[in-house]
Amino acid sequence: MTLAELETDVAAPPRGPVEVFGVRHHGPGSARSLVAALDAYDPDCVLVEGPPDADPLLRFVGDPGLVPPVALLAYAPEEPRQAAFWPFAEFSPEWQAILWARRREVEVGFCDLPAAMTLAPQGRTLLDEASDGLDGPDGSDDAERGEEAGERSAVEELLGAPAPRGGDAAALRRLAGRDPLGALAQAGGYDDAERWWEDVVEGRLDSSSPFPLVLEAMGELRRLVGQRHGRYAEGEARREAMMRQTIRAALKRGRTRVAVVCGAWHAPVLTAPLGPAAPDARTLRGAAKRKVVCTWVPWTHRRLAASSGYGAGITSPGWYAHLFEARDAPVVRWLTAVAGELRGRDLPVSSASVIEAVRLAETLATLRGRPLAGLTEVTDATRSVLCDGDELALRFVTDRLVVGERLGEVPAAVPTVPLEADLAATTRRLRLKREPAARSLDLDLRRGIDRERSQLFHRLRLLELAWAAPATSDVQATGTFRETWRLQWHPELAIAVVEAAVWGTTVEAAATARVDAVVEGQSLVELARTVERCLLAALPDALDRLLAACADQAARDADVLHLMEAVPALARAARYGDVRGTDTTALRQTSEVLVRRTCAGLARATTGLDDDSAVRVRDLVDAVHAAVGLLAQEGATDVRREWLGTLAALVGRADLAPLLQGRLTRLLVDAELVPDAPARLHRALSYGSAAAAKAAWVEGFFTDGAVLLVHDPALRGLLDGWVAGLGDEEFTDVLPLVRRTFGTFSTVQRRALAQRLAHGDAAGPAPDADGPDELVAPVLATVETILEAGRG
């Protein structure tokens, strides 16, 4: 049974003081038909499903700065995590109704439960409530209540055939209670509810009104389901009672034509006559409330998708936006846009392919008996013609177009927390855009604007606002003046901003207060890491207090390993003074004190270590050694001498773990304090030691040490002879350790080492390798030619 056949049986109801338009949330067909229906009805009051607490915010609808998709955000000031969103897209019927009223200066307001009730302790969240469009309540055994004869009559009217009996009738009742849209689709001969709704409503281009049919169909479904019980039914009863009370209030104010826009499931119980008000007043009496604040926040198409967990979500917000915006030739325009996206990915798509895809989509729609090619048909045509069956390319189209990444905008005049206002002003000043798609941003900290951007990102991280996260750059550059960030804005960050607002009215003040609040109870290592983050965020007031707390904690902490863990973060932070212009004198002094305390206790910390502990201490020694190098560059050469002296005193100890013996020897070799490296390697690999101990020494010494093996024939010969002399059993035992050591070498280093081993230890490059002179000679010749031409 088609919509046209059903519409002939639905008599147009007489126009009364209340006209109810049952819609599907975020449906372009509903939105287009609703605008035409409002033009025909010409109401003097428009009531839309939504929280009445947000009525003052409706004055912003129509403002050029409020660009959907946007959402109403309601939150409890004392507990911001208790929040709910009411999203709107350009193609949402509710948005179009509000926009219609604002443009014609007609009274408009919301008529659902207030957010003050929704967010009360026993209230339900938006994701629970918003699913009550055409998707009805969950089915249960209570859905089977009612008289069998009346139910069979309703089924017969819906299906146009004798109603099922017995178990089939019960199954249909359960379907209607669980999924009213599925029941309507079954009545229309469809096995896919989404496809039925797209055919009969969303694909309508003639703006004819489907609302009388939807109203009667929903009335039959509600009678079919019968009375429901439980928590869901109580919440539904309160919502519908509030809607009726709001309609009565509008009529009492003298309004003569009230248009009500709501989820289609609620439409049958809101039509006139509304009945006495006393039962609804009793239903609402005693409902818990709490203080809430409402505002507009940007939203995205991706967050409108059902896959995001949104209860009233749709599978294809990008496609629905296209249907609403492209009123003529939607299929042609859509496939043209698909071709553009694929060309942007360097995939060859010709105009002839687009024409062929359009013809295929229209042919499929005809074969399937559809009035217009829908998303299924254009997707099939895209896969077959434009993507040549490539599912990866099709997924790209789905992600970019079918779902989409459109982000709404909110004007600065919308009331919000001071922290959000400061963040918005700062991002405008720094020329940063909040975008839903992830993108990388490379910063050069020598530039003033990039330095301020970096400080903002680090402050937001301290506030746990995950808009920006450190990333790896594709640009080959080194130095402390380079930073790369990955930016991606999520609508839920609006709640995070509200939560962070308790710390201060500006980003800098809030980050400073947040740091002060977490100082107490932190370990020395955590304090050191916070010091680094605080310095990067340019929070001098918090930094002073952090350094004092770090010094106090270091004085109380006797664990040398904790001191070693804290040193690298402090040393790295001290290095940022050169680029950022921050005074790090106190920071360097604290770092030097920790290094000296480490030197005093390192001998005790390296006694009696097992294999796992030796690995941990080895890593800490490496980190501290690198940190001491940074401090030495800042003038702390005496600290470096004291550190190297400590290592030299430890390396000769017989009770030191072989891994640490090898590592300390390597560090001293790099510092040119051990001239007899081959002799030490010879002693370590001599008879009398277990093969595992020898392998551990080799791992400690040669990890990241390919250059030594490439350029020192004596070391290379000793190691090669040791490996060649291992027995089968010993070789099997030490192979994992040796492979782990050589795994730290780069591909180029391994190739150079292999060439050295293959061609012996003769000076110069291997015969088949290009030496430096051979590589540079053509360049030098070209430069000489250019210089001679210039002199001539």
pLDDT digits 0-9 by tens, 347-401:
888 899 999 999 999 999 888 877 778 888 888 999 998 888 888 888 888 888 8
Residue type, 404: G
Write the pLDDT tens digit of every residue in 768-790. 444 445 556 777 777 777 777 66
Q: If you average pLDDT over every residue of the chain, what do you get?
A: 77
- Whether 737 has a pLDDT exceeding 80, the answer reads no
In total, the chain counts a number of residues equal to 792
716 part of a folded domain: yes
Least confident of 198-202, 380-384, 419-423: 198-202
Residues 37, 129 share a domain? yes
Q: Within a domain: residue 170?
A: yes
Q: Report the pLDDT value the prediction gives residue 583, as an integer from 0 to 100.
A: 61
The C-alpha atoms of residue 167 and residue 148 are separated, in whole angstroms, by 12
* 606 contacts: CB under 8 Å, gap ≥ 6: 617, 650, 656, 657, 660
Q: Are residues 177 and 244 in the same domain?
A: yes
Domain that holds residue 490: 418-503
**Whether the bond into 273 is cis, omega within 30 of 0:** yes
> Tokens in use for 768?
């088949």
Q: Is the pLDDT of residue 228 over 70?
A: no
Cβ-based neighbours of 709, under 8 Å, separated by 6 or more: 702, 715, 716, 719, 753, 756
At residue 668, the pLDDT reads: 86
Domain limit, last residue, from 273, 290, 307 = 290
Question: Is the pLDDT reported for residue 443 higher than 70?
Answer: yes
Pairing mode of beta strands 70-76, 79-88: antiparallel
In a domain, 176, yes or no: yes
**pLDDT of 49 above 90:** yes
Per-residue confidence band for 55, with pLDDT thresholds at 50, 70 and 90? very high
pLDDT at position 104, please?
A: 93
- Domain membership of residue 631 (yes or no) is no
pLDDT value of residue 123: 41
Report percent pLDDT > 70 for the chain.
74
Same domain, 283 and 343: no
- 709 in a domain, yes or no? yes
Residue 160 lies in a domain: yes
In sequence order, what are the beta bridge partners of 32?
none
- The verdict on residue 423 lying in a domain is yes
Q: Is the pLDDT higher at 141 or at 441?
A: 441
- With a threshold of 0.75, does the pTM exceed it? no
Torsional sign, CA 390, 392, 395, 397: negative
Identify whether residues 160 and 230 lie together within a single domain. yes
Mark whether 374 and 479 lie in a shared domain. Answer: no
Give the pLDDT band of residue 701 (cuts 50, 70, 90): confident
Q: Say if residue 123 is in the same domain as residue 39.
A: yes
How much is the average pLDDT of 564-573? 82
Domain boundary among 450, 485, 503: 503
Residues in Cβ contact with 621 at an 8 Å cutoff, skipping those fewer than 6 apart = 564, 647, 660, 663, 664, 667
Whether the Cβ atoms of residue 291 and residue 77 lie closer than 8 Å to each other:
yes
Q: Of 117, 126, 504, whose CA–CA distance to 297 is shortest?
A: 126
Q: What is the pLDDT of residues 242-283, one digit of tens each?
A: 999 999 999 999 999 999 999 888 888 898 788 889 999 998
Q: Do 198 and 277 share a domain, yes or no? A: yes
pLDDT score at 130: 39
Mean pLDDT confidence for 400-416: 85
Residue 639 has a pLDDT of 84
Residue range 403-429: mean pLDDT, rounded: 88
> What's the pLDDT at 545?
81
Quote the pLDDT of residue 604. Answer: 86
Q: Are residues 397 and 431 in the same domain?
A: no
**Shared domain check, 441 and 360:** no
Same domain? 353 vs 495: no
Type of residue found at 571: A
Residue 783 lies in a domain: yes
The total number of structural domains in the chain stands at 4
**pLDDT of res. 138:** 34
Query: Is pLDDT of 232 > 80?
Result: no
Query: Is 397 in the same domain as 422?
Result: no
339 and 191, same structural domain?
Answer: no
* Mean pLDDT, residues 212-219 taken together: 82
